[in-house]
Amino acid sequence: MINQQKYPSILLENVVEEFSKLPGIGKKTALRFALYLLKNELIESENLGNAILKFRTEVNHCQICHNVCDDTVCEICNSNKRDNSIVCVVENVADVMAIENTQQFKGLYHVLGGVISPMNGVSPTDLEIASLVSRVAGGGIKEVILALSPDMEGDTTCLYIYKKLAQFNIDISTIARGVSVGDSLEYADEITLGRSIVNRVKYSYEL
């Protein structure tokens, strides 16, 4: 049994225990992290430990889009170069960063902080959905793009938000699902290939 693993030091056992709570990290990798810290200078460990403590206690969330930021309002919401009539709804900050990296979107974001998941005890009130509705109700928004993961929880969340926003006179869209650029049709899964046929777009040699 893995619990019977005996550590020569309680301090080592504690740090391995804490590292192994991180997603995807088991006891062996956690032990490697601890040995890495031990081999390197004290300052490395201090930087890591303090960065974790500082991040969790001091980081803010943008009052408008709820993305993490250092001020009360984030750079994107504050920018006058963005189209504030389009709002892209995403699960978390990693999704914002991924979409920003494409440089294809110049609107604003709304970060839900998760997706509806009864299995994990996440209900709509745990997410930034009410704030999205009041943001849309405030006026000025013409389109909401739902950019959530294409799984059951993402789809449930999309439907829930769609119903909440149906009362407003705005466009509601989702990001296109289809065969990835560079992928061969042969290896695409059936659902993706099916969706990409149903949602086919007019041929244009500009694309």
Closest to 141 in 3D by CA, of 82, 97, 63, 73: 82
What are the φ and ψ backbone dihedral angles of 69, each rounded to 5 degrees?
Answer: -160, 175
CB-nearer residue toward its own copies: 101 or 169:
101
Write each residue from 79 to 118 as x if it is in contact with its own copies (CB under 8 A), else as -, in one continuous string.
-------------xxx-xx--xx-----------xx----
Query: Site for its own copies (CB under 8 A): which residue of 74, 87, 108, 116?
Result: 74
Size of the site for its own copies (CB under 8 A): 61
Query: Site for its own copies (CB under 8 A): which residue of 18, 133, 156, 193?
Result: 18
5 binds its own copies (CB under 8 A): yes
Write each residue from 31 to 50 as x if it is in contact with its own copies (CB under 8 A), else as -, in one continuous string.
xxxxxxxxx--x-xxxxxxx
Task: Name the amino acid, one letter, at 22.
Answer: L
Q: Is 185 helix (H, G, I), strand (E, B) or coil?
A: helix
132 binds its own copies (CB under 8 A): no
Task: Name the amino acid, one letter, at 21.
Answer: K
What are the φ and ψ backbone dihedral angles of 169, each rounded to 5 degrees?
Answer: -85, 65
72 binds its own copies (CB under 8 A): no
Are 90 and 144 in contact by the 8 Å Cβ rule? The answer is no
174/191 Cα distance (integer angstroms): 16
CA torsion 98-205-146-122 (nearest 10°) is -50
Q: Render the burial of 102-131: b for 16+ CB within 10 Å, e for the rest.
A: eeebebbbbbbbebbbeeeebebeebbbee
Query: Site for its own copies (CB under 8 A): which residue of 64, 69, 129, 148?
Result: 69
Closest contact distance (angstroms) between CB of 131 and its own copies is 17
Q: Kindly list the residues in this chain that would bind its own copies in the complex (CB under 8 A).
A: 5-12, 14-15, 17-19, 21-24, 29, 31-39, 42, 44-60, 67-70, 74-76, 92-94, 96-97, 100-101, 113-114
